[in-house]
Amino acid sequence: MSVTSRYRDSWEGFWRAAPTTPGGVFWDADPAVTSAHHLAFFEPRLLDAALPLVDLGCGNGTQTRFLADRFPRVIGVDLADAALDHARRADPAGRAAYRRLDAAAQGEAEALHAELGDANVYMRGVLHQCEPDDRQPLVDGVAALLGDAGRAFLVELSETARPLLEDLAGGPAGPPPKLAPVLSHGIAPGEVADEAVPVYLAAAGLTVLASGELPLTTTEFTPDGTRIELPSRWLLAGRVT
C-alpha cells in the first residue's frame, strides 16, 4: 500500500506554489521555537544519539538543517519532490541528505532501514494530515525505520486544534494568508483524535515511552498581531524488549 494519489498530488501542488522565503509557509516556524524546543524532550531519551536521524515529512528542510548541526547524520525525507527541491536549494552546503520516501508504501521504509540500519525519527505534524487509510501504514513505516534501537519523536496537533483552525478559516476576512494555500490544496489538518495516535503506535509494535503537550508555533498572526499557536501533543515511542 502507498499513499493515495490525491494526497500526493495535493502536496506536490502545495510545494510547487510555496514561497521560498523563510517563514513563508504556515508551519515553517524558526527552529528556535520548534525543533530546538522539541530536542529538550527528545534528545535525552534517545538510546543512541549517534544513530542516523530521519526527519520524516521534512518539507522545505528548515528543521532538517537545524537537526543536521546536532546529529552526525540527518536524512530529510518527504513524499513530494517539490518539497525536496525547496530543501536542497536551501541547503547548498549539503548539511543534510534529502530523498523521496513514501513511508506508507510497503517496502520503502524497510529498504531505507536496510541501508541506514536502526534510525531515530523526528516527525512533526504528518499523521494528522494523512488520509485515514494511510495512517497505520505510515506508523508501520516509522516502526520499520526505528528497528530495535531507534526512537521516534512525534508531534501532532491535538484534536482541540481543529475547531481553532475552523474558526480561523471561517472568519469574516477568510483564512489567514498562509493558511489559505493549505486549505485550497485540499490538505485538512487536525483530523486525528488524540487517543488514536497511541493505538496506531501499539499496532506497529511500538510503546509510548513519554508524552506531553506543547503549542505548535506557526508563522501566522491574528489581525491584532498575536502569533497563532495551536495545541499539540508529543509522544516518544520505540520498541521495548
Q: pLDDT for 32-62, tens place per residue?
A: 999 999 999 999 999 999 999 999 999 999 9
**Structure-model confidence comparison of residues 72 and 182, the more confident one:** 72
For residue 3, give Cα distances in angstroms to 21, 41, 52, 105. Answer: 29, 30, 25, 7
Contact between residue 101 and residue 108 where contact means Cβ atoms under 8 Å apart: yes
Q: Return the H-helix or E-strand segment holding 209.
A: strand 207-221
- The mean per-residue pLDDT over the stretch 89-100 comes to 97
- Per-residue pLDDT for 67 more than 70? yes
Q: pLDDT tens-digit profile of 201-216? A: 999 999 999 999 998 8
**Structure-model confidence comparison of residues 3 and 23, the more confident one:** 23
- Per-residue pLDDT for 198 more than 70? yes
Q: pLDDT tens-digit profile of 172-181? A: 777 878 888 8
- Per-residue pLDDT for 188 more than 70? no
How does the average pLDDT of the chain come out, rounded? 91
- The mean per-residue pLDDT over the stretch 66-89 comes to 97
Say what the pTM is: 0.94
Q: Is the dihedral of CA 91, 96, 98, 101 positive or negative?
A: negative
pLDDT band at 196 (very low <50, low <70, confident <90, very high): very high
Q: Return the H-helix or E-strand segment holding 210.
A: strand 207-221
pLDDT band at 160 (very low <50, low <70, confident <90, very high): confident
The residue among 59, 35, 58, 39 whose CA lies nearest residue 49 is 39
What is the distance between the alpha carbons of residues 207 and 194, in angstroms, rounded to a whole number?
16
- The mean per-residue pLDDT over the stretch 123-149 comes to 93
- The pLDDT of residue 222 is 80
What is the distance between the alpha carbons of residues 212 and 40, in angstroms, rounded to a whole number?
12
- The mean per-residue pLDDT over the stretch 157-184 comes to 82
pLDDT band at 1 (very low <50, low <70, confident <90, very high): very low
- 5-19+26-238, CATH topology level: Rossmann fold (3.40.50)
- The pLDDT of residue 147 is 98
- Per-residue pLDDT for 3 more than 60? no
- The mean per-residue pLDDT over the stretch 190-211 comes to 93
- The pLDDT of residue 128 is 86
- Per-residue pLDDT for 18 more than 70? yes
